[in-house]
Amino acid sequence: QVQVVESGGGLVQAGDSLRLSCTASGPSFRTYTMGWFRQASGKERNFVAGIMSPDGVVNYNDSVKGRFAISRDNDKNTLYLQMNHLKPDDTAAYFCGVRFGFTNQPMNASRYGYWGQGTQVTVSS
């Protein structure tokens, strides 16, 4: 069982920055493929960014390319999402998904077996 906990959300103004964190338990953190997803009220959960195991390849949703950056610190069992130039459309609950090893569909939420409770990001105009 993997415990996943997200943090770092908040209420900010358009143009501001936030950094989200996600900690995942277990001795195999280095082998996890991890992704950030977001879900706006009444909408489906959508892929934001992901980092693959074992090669560290990153993927981004086109809507966040150039503004968001995903990274991981294996020594701290932590995944990050640096979000810059935030827009009102970025408002959503942000979730961290975790799976063991590689997937050929990193943007598909159903490929992740472990999730945190989410952290809310609200961007005012």
Tokens of 36: 């950030």
Confidence of residue 54 (pLDDT cuts 50, 70, 90): confident
pLDDT, one tens digit per residue, over 9-36 is 999 999 999 999 999 998 889 999 999 9
Tokens of 46: 């959508």
Cα distance between residue 125 and residue 123, in whole Å = 7
